[in-house]
Structure 1
């Protein structure tokens, strides 16, 4: 009898289901770069340069000189690492400056920076300890895991459907009527990463307020891109005073690393004492905090986002004119292929034509809706965009999906 783990068998199962993934080394984080297959213990051997339409670096700031200089200054003046949990000695002036700027753009009293958006989601839901979480069925994995860790019960409502949320809350209210009052938390992404659509936040606020619950909105794919202050969909819709917990990431449009929670004074004071992923983690590194702060300034004070939206419109129009179905209404352009095999082959053919855009297939998306997820950057040039569209036209014909 053995009590170990047969990982070879697990990997073979992933191979059989076309679910095995492999690491790939990128030479740089930019609109164009070279890639190398996983070198294991060796040195990478890079391919020809390709156009990258597969990054969450939406504003193209990860290799921006201003952001790089801010990171360097943070390292030189404070240190390369925080050195400890922020509750010990790892809380620095650059953390506080970033949090002030985040709170300003989110329209809240305070913000709290975590080591990642994942840590912020798990730590916050666990610290709140809700009796019930009502969660959109397409919420990010970090929200799902936060519910597993911190919620007594999770009720999933239909995607972006306030009426189904209302029905689920009404049913729960009937069940709980004879018992003690429960604490309810509704959690939704604002921009959904696989469909590129936007949650109907105002309608969700109406339902949440009807039942006296709390609302938590994850703005991971919206921070820096929406609203006059770059806060996100909550700010674009003028809902700052109706959302109890605003969450986001520093690793996408803000080109750094980390996550944050924004809310009122009491919420932040409670989380910095009770969120285990904050209390027991070394603070975000000063260079990352400084880089995120500068990226947020650029997002708020320049026209960088306008450049991105122009690129998005050109790509969407071009792809739809070819005959592709493109979902969503945001910077994420899911190009529906349908069949899993066709999507994987299309992604391979796109690479043959110098364009990196990943195939997304079940179980990440429903059966029959496999897709190519196109994520442009503000720094893509007209030539990059033309190359992308030409690649989709040629590769689509080769695979037989056009």
Structure 2
């Protein structure tokens, strides 16, 4: 073996060869990328929030604030029916699965949830994972395509799945079907002897826009590619608790449908829905499924009840009504609101302006996060507003009033 000048005679690393984490954190601070944890007392439309206590218990001394920062779009995490379902699953099966689903962790609670998910997505079967992240990484690596074509704004879990597989990844311009068509045409001219996977979110979490799924399916079919769609921010929000794939009638044309149980369904976990052969392959080959303890039964029970509630119309109608009220009110003030979904990105522009506006909103009793580069492109920093079905009319008006007063105070809006 060759020698390494960072080690001593016994293989111990010299102190100067260690990890200088303080310097790394300082560098993040300098670039405006340092984050911290702010514990929230409860997951609901209103809550108290604590400053980051480090390793100490949080203290909730401040008054309640309105949360427009959660992905619990239907407000089901605090719904008594969902909480009761979690309790019943814990009593019937246990608080944890105890092992991989391939060992002893496969329970009736998991199977019932998977049947309901498959019904909502119109597929043969579904398979639940410990998180949406695990579902994306597991599905991409198990499929192991020769080439992946990925929207440039796809979620980090898709990006990491692409990095973990030995495929060539072609990143196409955001929601640009023509760019995807050109990339696939180039592949077809070079060779037809490869497996191709087109991967996209359906609803993009920072822009609130929707992928052109019908056009993507058309293009993929012309070039013999499969389509994989992550419905994380769409599952549960459309008729029958489906997503954009169901809304647009594309279930037969999207080979791999993914989603999460942790957003509109108010629980935890992820899923893949598709053909019987797909699910059988994933439960054998997706490492994030095979080598992970099964989803906790209370989470599975809660998600199943939430899916049933979401399949009804009342909660969804209340959410979309809140979305319309906020979008109309913000635009009437002079704000530019991006997207076309329940995610309302309020464009500010420069990083500093967005951060100051977010801080001032907190002063007015509203929590809505500033999103800045590198999460979004330079010059497009924004406030991400996410209403919930459980926000009252009075709370929506309070949010709009906060945006008006805070925007004027920091110079984002005219007096």
TM over 0.5: yes
Q: CA deviation at 1:290?
A: 0.1
* Equivalence for 2:149: 134
Q: Is the 8 A contact 1:133 1:151 kept in 2?
A: no
Tell me the SS of whatever aligns to 2:346.
strand
Give CA-to-partner distance per residue, 1:305-344, whole Å, 9 cap, x none. 0000000000000000000000000000000000100000
User: Which of these residues, 123, 126, 131, is aligned with residue 116 of structure 1?
Assistant: 131
Tell me the SS of whatever aligns to 1:134.
strand
TM-score (norm 1): 0.98
Give CA-to-partner distance per residue, 1:355-400, whole Å, 9 cap, x none. 0000000000000000000000000011110110000000000110
Tell me the SS of whatever aligns to 1:154.
strand
Determine the C-alpha separation between the residues in 1 that align with 2:168 and 2:240: 35
User: Which of these residues, 220, 228, 242, is aligned with residue 208 of structure 1?
Assistant: 220
* Equivalence for 1:44: 58
1:217 matched to 2:229: yes
Q: CA deviation at 1:3?
A: 2.1
Q: Is the 8 A contact 1:52 1:356 kept in 2?
A: yes
* Equivalence for 2:168: 153
Give CA-to-partner distance per residue, 1:151-195, whole Å, 9 cap, x none. 411001111111110101111222336xxx111000000000000
User: Which of these residues, 249, 270, 273, is aligned with residue 259 of structure 1?
Assistant: 270
1:27 matched to 2:41: yes
Q: Is the 8 A contact 1:247 1:261 kept in 2?
A: yes
Give CA-to-partner distance per residue, 1:86-143, whole Å, 9 cap, x none. 0000000010000000000000000000000000000110001011000001000000
Residue correspondences, number: 398
Q: Is the 8 A contact 1:94 1:290 kept in 2?
A: yes
Which 5+ residue runs of structure 2 have no aligned equivalent? Answer: 1-5, 7-15
Alignment of 1:2-401 (within 5 A): 2-46=16-60, 47-176=62-191, 181-226=193-238, 228-401=239-412
Q: CA deviation at 1:258?
A: 0.2
Runs (4+) of structure 1 exceeding 6 A deviation are none
Q: CA deviation at 1:41?
A: 2.9
TM-score (norm 2): 0.95
Determine the C-alpha separation between the residues in 2 that align with 1:48 and 1:301: 34
